[in-house]
Amino acid sequence: MRPFDYVRAEDPVSASRAAAQANARFIGGGTNLLDLMKLEVMAPETLVDVSRLDFGGIAEDGDGLRIGATVTNSDVAADARVRRTWPVLSRALLSGASGQLRNKATTGGNLLQRTRCPYFYDTDTACNKRRPGSGCAAMGGETRNHAILGTSDQCIALYPGDMAVALRALDATIDVQRSEGAAERFSMQDFYRLPGETPDIETVLAPGDLITAVHLPAPKGDRQIYRKVRDRASYAFALVSVAAVVRMEGGRIAHAAIGFGGLGTVPWRDPDVDAVLVGEKPSAAVFDAAADTLLRGAVPEEGTQFKVPLARRVLRAVLEEATA
Amino acid sequence: MTLDLKVDGQSEERAEAFAQGLLGTALDRPDGVLKVTGAAVYAADDVPEGCAYGMLVRAPGFGAIEVGNADEVRAMPGVLAVIRDKRMVRNAAQGTANAAPVQGVDSADYVGQPVALVVAESFEAARHAAQALQLRTDGGPLPVNPGDVETEGEPDTTGDLDAAMAEAPHRLDVTYTTPSMTSAPMEPHAAVAWWEGDALTVRSALQMLKYNRNELADSLGIDPAKVRLLAPYVGGGFGSKLGIAAEAVAAAIAAQDLGRPVRVVQHRRQVFETVTRRSETRQRLRLAADRTGKLSGIGQEAWVSNLPGEVFQEPVTQATAFAYGAVHRVIGERLERLHRPAAGSVRAPGEAVGVTILECAMDELANDIGIDPVELRLRNIPDTDPEGGIPFSSHMLAEALKTGARRFGWSDRAPKPRARREGEWWIGTGMSAAFRVNVMMEAEARIALSPEGAVVETDMTDIGTGTYAILTQIAGEALGLPAEKVEVRLGDTTYPPGSGSGGSWGAATTGNAVWLAAQEIRAELARRMECGEGELTLKDGTATCGNRRVALADLLDGATLEGHGHIEAGDAFSKVRQSTFGAHFAEVAVNDVTGEVRVRRMSGTFAAGRILNEKTARSQCHGGLTWGIGMALTEGMVHDRRDGHIVNRDLAEYHMAVNADVPPLDVHFLEERDPWAGPLMSKGIGELGICGAAAAVLNAIHHACGVRVRDLPATPDRVLAGLEE
């Protein structure tokens, strides 16, 4: 771990100001950042601690819900309103990490969780995400836990989390306080960036930009499912996960919003997949068409071939359950 | 005086006649409270005044090491030294090596080899400086993948297996693979070293001190008599702490160079690389059987790997040699010299993977023939050791199979796979036999009996296994003392040399040494009581002989009575075949959509002679079954195919079974005394539980959904590949 300056912010505005410099980072729960700092995968010179700031807890906001950036994963998962109206989020959170980690991990920090690509973690290997331009050791190496959607010739690192997958299906938005003080709201779609030529840049956030809250609109679907396939029963990242928010009307699918984990370089949602489903009567053919659409651009490596049939099977099972 | 015993034949049962009633009970660990309250001082938990902190640095590639910026690193804040000393070791010594492992830092034989130590005033400064040290290697690619090199060694052949296969009405010829595995003890490898003149003391995490002292002295080029090792508490070993390892040698060198104590703790990622892994294996299984399932041929050929210079070769087939009778046999290993991190003993070397795959093959054969898998085993139990023709000291497999089947409810099982479905889940059951060779080593122990009670001393270790408890019970039983009147002192080379913890031999070997030391004291007490030893009853601190009862304190008359015991294996381990036996049963659910497997219940029935402590023995078996679940479903080191380095070298990516993977476990012990196993008639229990456990799970997967996974572990993608067919 490189020595660093530690600043405990007084309020969000001064926090943003303190962090508006190259190589400064906010720290919330630190459940991912500290590990990466110990390995010097990340080596910020300044840490701005926002964990004690009041971003509001969980509050009703019209017919939606506002979740302050420092509310822990455990508290979100346990919230009665979340469990009743947005259960897919609660399920996604509880399927991730461990109880101890969820007690520390924050909503804002979790959105910025970084990949588990083992070459990203290994400072003795090449990684374009960790050291731009150094190459990608994962390609040609061990790729079982890598992405098949949204990859580039620079990076195949997988987005590993669960919470953001559910948030995508819920059309959540992210409130950001820009470093100069202006508030801005981003859709999940706009918040994350595909690796392209710059896999080190993962979101729209610039230095000093601070996540202040996540906003959940009233759910457009009452049938909510989070299903995660993993190597062991707990404490493992998704091989494939599916978050589905579905509403049925008159035997047809009136609303479908499907988020995917374990597949993409970012928390994945494909509007074309949703479009294939909406207006249709549930059937194996429709579900297969949705899977075809999802996987039409998939670029599996040798180690991730299995994700193609697995994603298809899990999507089909989730849709069967959600539309039954 | 010393009571010596070389175990050449059968012993007489004596403990049954003793009165204390401590042996075999579920005594709580005397060290338990210290451990759960954090009061037990493990290797890295305390440091002497003025201690400096070292961090090992790994080679990023193969070949000659070039250091780019040593002077810059030395100038970093808090940094005391960058040490590259040719005495540093390439990898941990093999168990019982008794001499230094391969040494040197000029060149790396595997990616991850420790080739430097950075020492600083704080752990944090050392870690950062170690990360700043720029190492370059100039070596080209070396062979790292199985199949890349010529093999060494050939299996043993008896009869004509090819002909037996050609003639047999039922034959099986299948190949399985198992990946490299790690032991991952909870306590990472750690050492604190300090010198007083030319005398070195090291507190470290070690399993076998009398060997480790010689290994460390040999590594440093000093007299073993100048080395004192301390390991009073060890947070798990599983083979990874059998031999002296990189951190202890480096800490001793640094402490010498700097003239102050030095602590070195391996980072978890280093533990994966620098201590020995369980070798990956490829195993070809051939079974030839008649229509009743009686085997005429058995073949188990295993390919394993290790680094050049390592003598260890995973003894995959050592139990197959005596497991089942068959006239025609091809059994043994071939070794490939690969530049992966060194391979060595990991819990139940040999049987853990060897019995597992043998038992998978037996399940396949039973399925092919259409007979019950339990029945197939029963029909092939040999009368004598099929290799040497010698008798078994005891043979409890049939009883274990029958008892285990009854406890599990095996008779309800559907004969064919894919018979039971609950929603998305296929439900099935599987079983396996368990075998593990029984080994005795050499050990000494000393007991001092005073009016206050007994103090037992031996350099034996307790690596979480319960040594403190069982030695308390053995001494207490023999001397008629309650547990609280017995103090056991372990893990210090100034005590008499014990056997060390490894190969499941610790309890029986060192336990018998303690037993003998107590017998010596009993003989003296009998003399003072003026009666034959057989008439002497010792209980709760009193000696009784006929109608005479004397308090031990009076008999001792204020003085201390010493007993010294020494035991070693003799002809009893060649005249008869000694093994432990058991039977595993498992029920699993396999998800038809995802290929995920959940173990729903598991039962193990084991025979290992006298059970010294019902609770700690049970814990050992729980651990074995849990490891079996991991081996079957989740565990495996991934080696990068380009340079062999371990890709998943942390506990998030190397998947050991977690609580949610482990159902309630049923463990049952068969009552047994094995008179060939020494005076206590107890055999090793530490490793038996893992032997074959994974096979019960894998066989249950097949019974559930019809998918035979032959490349371990059975992760969802591998099960799914079968379901898709």
B599 interfaces chain A, CB cutoff of 8 Å: no
Q: Which of residues 24-63 of B touch A (CB under 8 A)?
A: 58, 60-61
Question: From the CB of residue B9, how many other CB atoms can be counted at a distance below 10 Å?
Answer: 12
CB contact under 8 A, A116 and B58: no
Nearest CA-CA distance, residue A304 and chain B, Å: 9
Average confidence (pLDDT) over A62-84:
98
State residue A272 phi and psi, 5-degree precision. -65, -35
Burial B447-469 (b: 16+ CB within 10 A, else e): bbbeeebbbbbbbbbbbbbbbbb
Q: What is the pLDDT of residues B189-229, one digit of tens each?
A: 999 999 999 999 999 999 999 999 999 999 999 999 999 99
Q: Is the pLDDT of residue B711 over 90?
A: yes
Q: Which residues of A touch B659 (CB under 8 A)?
A: 234
How far does Cα B511 stand from its chain's mean position? 17
Beta strands (DSSP E) in B398-461 are 421-422, 425-437, 442-450, 453-457
Nearest CA-CA distance, residue A122 and chain B, Å: 9
Q: Which residues of B touch A230 (CB under 8 A)?
A: 596, 716
Instruction: Name the residue among A2, A122, A313 with its Cβ closest to that of B594.
Output: A313
- Do residues B674 and B394 make contact, with C-beta atoms less than 8 angstroms apart? yes
Burial B480-516 (b: 16+ CB within 10 A, else e): bbebebbbbbbbbbebbbbbbbbbbbbbbbbbbbbbb
CB contact under 8 A, B633 and A232: yes
Nearest residue in chain B measured CA to CA from A138 = B640
Q: Is the pLDDT of residue A181 over 90?
A: no
Per the listing, tokens 């996987």 go with: A295
CB contact under 8 A, A314 and B721: no
Q: Which domains does chain A have, with CATH numbers?
A: 5-50 (3.30.43.10), 223-323 (3.30.390.50)
Cα–Cα distance measured from residue B714 to residue B716, given in angstroms and rounded to the nearest whole number = 7
Nearest CA-CA distance, residue B660 and chain A, Å: 6
- Do residues B314 and B340 make contact, with C-beta atoms less than 8 angstroms apart? no
Average confidence (pLDDT) over B165-173:
98
Instruction: Name the residue among B640, B650, B661 with its Cβ closest to that of A142.
Output: B640
B138 interfaces chain A, CB cutoff of 8 Å: no
CB contact under 8 A, B128 and A236: no
CA-closest candidate to residue A89, choices A189, A213, A221, A225: A225
HEC profile for B162-174?
Answer: HHHHHHCCEEEEE
Q: Which residues of B touch A1 (CB under 8 A)?
A: 124, 127-128
Question: From the CB of residue B259, how many other CB atoms can be counted at a distance below 10 Å?
Answer: 10
B17 interfaces chain A, CB cutoff of 8 Å: no
Cα–Cα distance measured from residue B583 to residue B688, given in angstroms and rounded to the nearest whole number = 10
Nearest residue in chain B measured CA to CA from A41 = B131
Cα–Cα distance measured from residue A267 to residue B296, given in angstroms and rounded to the nearest whole number = 57
Query: What one-letter code names the amino acid at A295?
Result: L
Q: What is the pLDDT of residues B49-80, one digit of tens each?
A: 999 999 999 999 999 999 999 999 999 999 99
Q: Is the pLDDT of residue A294 over 90?
A: yes
B653 interfaces chain A, CB cutoff of 8 Å: yes
B445 interfaces chain A, CB cutoff of 8 Å: no
CB contact under 8 A, B594 and A306: no
A135 interfaces chain B, CB cutoff of 8 Å: no
Q: What is the pLDDT of residues B669-700, one digit of tens each?
A: 999 999 999 999 999 999 999 999 999 999 99
- Work out whether strand A46-49 and strand A5-8 pair parallel, antiparallel, or are unpaired: parallel
Cα–Cα distance measured from residue B395 to residue B378, given in angstroms and rounded to the nearest whole number = 12
| B618-621: long-range contacts, CB 8 A cutoff, minimum separation 24 | B618/B26, B618/B667, B618/B669, B619/B466, B620/B465, B620/B466, B620/B685, B620/B686, B620/B689, B621/B665, B621/B667, B621/B685, B621/B688, B621/B689
User: How much is the pTM?
Assistant: 0.98
Q: What is the pLDDT of residues B505-528, one digit of tens each?
A: 999 999 999 999 999 999 999 999
B596 interfaces chain A, CB cutoff of 8 Å: yes
Nearest residue in chain B measured CA to CA from A321 = B424
Nearest residue in chain B measured CA to CA from A307 = B717
Q: What is the pLDDT of residues A142-170, one digit of tens each?
A: 999 999 999 999 999 999 999 999 999 99
CB contact under 8 A, A310 and B595: yes
DSSP B175-243: EEEE--B----SSPPEEEEEEETTEEEEEE--S-HHHHHHHHHHHHTS-GGGEEEE-S--S--TTTTSS
State residue B703 phi and psi, 5-degree precision. -65, -35
Please tell me the predicted confidence (pLDDT) of residue A301.
Answer: 94
B547 interfaces chain A, CB cutoff of 8 Å: no
Please tell me the predicted confidence (pLDDT) of residue A186.
Answer: 98
Token pair recorded at residue A213: 């809250």
Local structure of residue B434 (DSSP, 8 states): E
CB contact under 8 A, A239 and B716: yes
Local structure of residue A278 (DSSP, 8 states): T
Burial of A5 (0-12, 13-18, 19+ CB in 10 A): exposed
Please tell me the predicted confidence (pLDDT) of residue B488.
Answer: 98
Please tell me the predicted confidence (pLDDT) of residue A73.
Answer: 98
Please tell me the predicted confidence (pLDDT) of residue B1.
Answer: 73
B633 interfaces chain A, CB cutoff of 8 Å: yes
- Work out whether strand B135-137 and strand B156-158 pair parallel, antiparallel, or are unpaired: unpaired
Please tell me the predicted confidence (pLDDT) of residue B388.
Answer: 85
Q: Which residues of A touch B111 (CB under 8 A)?
A: 124
Mean of all residue pLDDT scores within chain A:
97
Token pair recorded at residue A108: 């804002």
Instruction: Name the residue among B124, B640, B721 with its Cβ closest to that of A141.
Output: B640
Q: Which residues of B touch A235 (CB under 8 A)?
A: 652, 658, 660
- Do residues B146 and B336 make contact, with C-beta atoms less than 8 angstroms apart? yes
Which of the following is catalytic: B535, B687, B724, B725? B687
CB contact under 8 A, A116 and B653: yes
Please tell me the predicted confidence (pLDDT) of residue A257.
Answer: 98
Q: Which residues of A touch B594 (CB under 8 A)?
A: 229, 240, 310, 313-314, 317
Instruction: Name the residue among B594, B642, B648 with its Cβ closest to that of A314.
Output: B594
State residue B250 phi and psi, 5-degree precision. -65, -40
CB contact under 8 A, A142 and B724: no
CB contact under 8 A, A229 and B594: yes
Instruction: Name the residue among B594, B652, B657 with its Cβ closest to that of A310.
Output: B594
User: Is residue A61 helix, strand or coil?
Assistant: strand
- Do residues B462 and B234 make contact, with C-beta atoms less than 8 angstroms apart? yes
Nearest CA-CA distance, residue A145 and chain B, Å: 10
Q: Which residues pair with B542 in a beta bridge?
A: B539, B551
Q: Which of residues 221-240 of A touch B (CB under 8 A)?
A: 229-237, 239-240
Q: What is the pLDDT of residues B450-508, one digit of tens each?
A: 999 999 999 999 999 999 999 999 999 999 999 999 999 999 999 999 999 999 999 99
Q: Which residues of A touch B340 (CB under 8 A)?
A: none
Cα–Cα distance measured from residue B309 to residue B305, given in angstroms and rounded to the nearest whole number = 12
Nearest CA-CA distance, residue B504 and chain A, Å: 29
- CA separation (Å) from B184 to A291, A319, B247, B277, B714? 40, 40, 16, 10, 20
Nearest CA-CA distance, residue B25 and chain A, Å: 35
Q: Which of residues 356-395 of B touch A (CB under 8 A)?
A: none
Q: How many CB contacts within 8 angstroms connect chain A with chain B? A: 88
Q: What is the pLDDT of residues B346-395, one digit of tens each?
A: 999 999 999 999 999 999 999 999 999 999 999 999 999 998 899 999 99
CB contact under 8 A, A310 and B717: yes
Please tell me the predicted confidence (pLDDT) of residue B140.
Answer: 84
What would you report as the CA-atom Rg of chain A, rounded to the nearest whole angstrom? Answer: 19
Q: What is the pLDDT of residues A88-118, one digit of tens each?
A: 999 999 999 999 999 999 999 999 999 999 9
Cα–Cα distance measured from residue A16 to residue A26, given in angstroms and rounded to the nearest whole number = 9
Which one of B55, B647, B715 makes the best mutation probe of the A interface by having the most chain A beta carbons within 10 Å? B647
CB contact under 8 A, B640 and A38: no
HEC profile for B630-645?
Answer: HHHHCCCCCECCCCCC
Please tell me the predicted confidence (pLDDT) of residue B527.
Answer: 96
Nearest CA-CA distance, residue A134 and chain B, Å: 15
CB contact under 8 A, B642 and A40: no
Query: Alpha helices, DSSP H only, in B530-583?
Result: 552-556, 572-575
Q: Which residues of B touch A233 (CB under 8 A)?
A: 598, 658, 660-661
Burial of A99 (0-12, 13-18, 19+ CB in 10 A): exposed
Q: Which residues pair with B57 in a beta bridge?
A: B116
Per the listing, tokens 């372990």 go with: B490
**CA dihedral in degrees (A41, A46, A48, A51; nearest 10)?**
40
CB contact under 8 A, A116 and B720: no
| B671 is a catalytic site residue | no
Mean of all residue pLDDT scores within chain B:
97
Q: Which domains does chain B have, with CATH numbers?
A: 3-40+441-569 (3.30.365.10), 52-141+183-268 (3.30.365.10)
CB contact under 8 A, A141 and B642: yes
Token pair recorded at residue B132: 């700043």
Question: From the CB of residue A283, how many other CB atoms can be counted at a distance below 10 Å?
Answer: 12
Please tell me the predicted confidence (pLDDT) of residue B625.
Answer: 98
Cα–Cα distance measured from residue B215 to residue B542, given in angstroms and rounded to the nearest whole number = 44
